[in-house]
Chain A
């Protein structure tokens, strides 16, 4: 066990899985960098350095830089997965899914079903998401609700370095297509991470705080905000349970319903846009299956229904930060009192 960043945890998971299984290859735009260029090789190791050092270790046959051709190489990763490899493709920003989604949702997601069960497509698509980088509308979205909607896909949202390593190893060992969401504002986040490989099972939520007054269900980076709010409020006599579902597909509905029922007051925190997102999904689940346990209306804390703005002044308003979460918790608790 040692302290590692989110970036290092992901790099370590890739390295250990590539060492374990020769069928694991990685591909993406500039995941090494410098291919065909006169200067430094492995120049970038990915745009934010996540895959740095893997090409020198495993060679260009297993660390494949691609042209900027997302339909081409995401589709190639899918085709390779269906024919014996276990590719991990990097879709640099999830915002770019618009130029390759067919290969994900019409091809990879459906092979198993359309082919009567006679297909295995163990592809992982790692992708950066989220606001906070001043990266504006086309490099800052969440979009995991879109992937969660599609049967046949699995969707992982690691909330810290420990989660990132364990969920990525599970993603690579899983026999289904997995979309692995990395929040770009968390790459430098540090945490304790075991040195040895370990897998965190999908569909098993992590309860990060236990309390009596309210249940906060949060996704991805928002788990950290929710933990901070819970810690702050606990000193003021409001104790919160915090649930990190870890994966949106599969979704641990059992833990969500149990923890919602225990306090009867629920806040769902989701960085995605407010319509048809994880917050509405979880709120609907609780309203349908645990309505009689609720003591106050469910509160949803989400980004607003607008594209992600560029100006720091606007982006800070856009992000559902700790203040908004705290206000929502106070509201659900206050209504009950």
Chain B
């Protein structure tokens, strides 16, 4: 299977949209316009998009506290997402979830999650639904290097394997759980952990969209074909702090700058496709402009949008009568 021209344009568009979205949220948060906690995905775009390019409406993903990128990659509406992050009534979750709980089950996006390691058991459930209802769907848990050390994650590896679920565990290792380096906090290796549970497990360079796309394809095809769960360890870099407001002084001074200059996933994608003659620079420039304009529009509309009111406080607690 090869990426078509449309696929390439779509992949770049989604990665660029994530980058613009996160840069805008960074600016707006810095200006004091966004309440609460936000955790930005800039720098890790190739992971979310590399996996989600293979997914459709049958498939589910669970995200982390760093969830905006997974949302956009899975097809959530970026305008409603921006409204949500601003806490507005017409946000993706009515302003009740915010950045840490942003979700759209109608798109198979089971939520960012405020609990580190909260997603993997849920994804076992989504995979069980797909298997039981014979939808052909798969389910992907995105987990950080921090979440990779939670017991829920290990329990999910085991459960997915013994139930032979169409589940994929994607460990997005951006090097730091908050301030603590994964070189210290993770005993053994992520790949060995996966193999220890009897799962196929590989490591991939998260700056390389094409490498991610290829390992994702293998894992997802295996799951769809009844071959059970897999683990993928994605090495990547987050450009901003753990949350907005974190100056990330625990990183080496030139760590992010050097990565941006040499390994930025959007830059590498552009180099690769233009050098190979797959896309021309002008088409990519056009996407850059469109994405920037789109996010500027989302921010402007989100700022002007109405807030939820008191009558929204007690709705949506239960579905059946209470």
Instruction: Write the residues of chain A forming the contact surface with B, with a CB cutoff of 8 angstroms.
Output: 23, 25, 61-62, 64, 66-67, 69, 71-85, 87, 102-103, 106-107, 110-120, 122, 151-152, 154, 174-176, 201-203, 250
The residue in chain A whose Cβ has the minimal distance to the Cβ of B103 is A115
Instruction: Tell me whether chain A's interface is mostly helix, strand or loop, or mixed.
Output: loop
B320 & A174 in contact (Cβ 8 Å cutoff): yes
Beyond contacts A71-B155, A82-B122, A117-B315: 12 other A-B pairs, Cβ-Cβ < 8 A, are: A67-B158, A75-B124, A76-B122, A80-B125, A83-B126, A84-B133, A102-B115, A115-B96, A118-B105, A175-B320, A176-B318, A203-B322
User: B110 at interface (Cβ–Cβ under 8 A)?
Assistant: yes
What is the interface residue range for chain B against chain A?
A: 35 or more
User: B250 at interface (Cβ–Cβ under 8 A)?
Assistant: no
| Docked complex Cα distance between A74 and B125 (Å) | 9
Cβ-neighbour of B125 out of A78, A118, A151, A175 (below 8 A): A78
Q: Which of B96, B114, B318 has the most CB of A within 10 A?
A: B318
CB distance from A127 to the nearest CB of B (A): 17
| Chain B residues near A78 (CB-CB < 8 A) | 121-122, 125
| Chain B residues near A112 (CB-CB < 8 A) | 316-319
| Docked complex Cα distance between A118 and B101 (Å) | 12
B111 & A114 in contact (Cβ 8 Å cutoff): yes
B115 & A79 in contact (Cβ 8 Å cutoff): no
User: B282 at interface (Cβ–Cβ under 8 A)?
Assistant: no
| Docked complex Cα distance between A117 and B132 (Å) | 26
Instruction: Write the residues of chain B forming the contact surface with A, with a CB cutoff of 8 angstroms.
Output: 60, 62, 91-97, 101, 103-106, 110-111, 113-115, 118, 120-126, 128-130, 132-133, 139, 151-152, 155-156, 158-159, 162-163, 315-322
A67 & B93 in contact (Cβ 8 Å cutoff): no
| Docked complex Cα distance between A102 and B114 (Å) | 11
B106 & A76 in contact (Cβ 8 Å cutoff): no
A117 & B94 in contact (Cβ 8 Å cutoff): yes
The residue in chain B whose Cβ has the minimal distance to the Cβ of A73 is B159
Cross-chain pairs A/B with CB under 8 angstroms, 26 sampled: A61-B132, A67-B162, A69-B159, A71-B151, A78-B125, A79-B62, A79-B122, A79-B139, A83-B126, A85-B125, A85-B133, A102-B115, A103-B152, A106-B114, A107-B115, A107-B122, A111-B111, A113-B96, A115-B103, A116-B93, A117-B315, A118-B104, A118-B106, A119-B103, A122-B319, A174-B320
